[in-house]
Amino acid sequence: MILPEAIAHLFLKNNHKRVKVVATFNEQSINYHGALIPKKNGLCVMYFSSEKQKALGIFMNDYFEIQLFEDQSKYGVDMPEELDAVLMSDHETYTIFEALTPGRLRSIIYTVNAINRHRLK
């Protein structure tokens, strides 16, 4: 998605590259965390996966609403309860986890969330 420069700039000028997003279409909403990606030409984009499009029932040319909020989460994504419990019960694992880059931390969290979603199906 291409975001309006004025909106994206409000977050980027305060070094908030990750945001919480509420996307709404036909009175149905999804919440997720996203990254603001500034481009060289002054535009700012955010990825909106086909999984999220399918969850809302939107197609390529549909108009939908998004709201952006400052992401105040520690890792830029919601921490699954199971992973949090493991990290709190094992100090060595927690120390290793915390030493990873922010992107790797989110990758681990996304993977645990994907496993949980798959398990619930």
Q: Is the confidence at residue 117, as pLDDT, over 80?
A: no
Q: Considering the domain boundaries, does residue 90 fall inside one?
A: yes
d(CA 105, CA 121): 25
- Mean pLDDT calculated for residue range 67-96: 92
Number of domains forming the structure of the chain? 2
Domain that holds residue 86: 81-120
Model confidence pLDDT, tens digit, residues 27-75: 999 999 999 999 888 789 999 999 899 999 998 889 999 999 998 889 9
Measured CA angle at 34 (ends 28, 40), to 5 deg: 125
Residues 6+ apart with CB under 8 A from 87: 93, 94, 97
User: What is the rounded CA–CA span in Å between residue 28 and residue 65?
Assistant: 10
| pLDDT for position 61 | 86
What would the mean pLDDT of 66-90 be, rounded to a whole number? Answer: 92
**Same-domain check for residues 6 and 65:** yes
Instruction: Please tell me the pTM assigned to this model.
Output: 0.77
- Shared domain check, 65 and 10: yes
Is 121's pLDDT higher than 70?
A: no
**One domain for residues 16 and 59:** yes
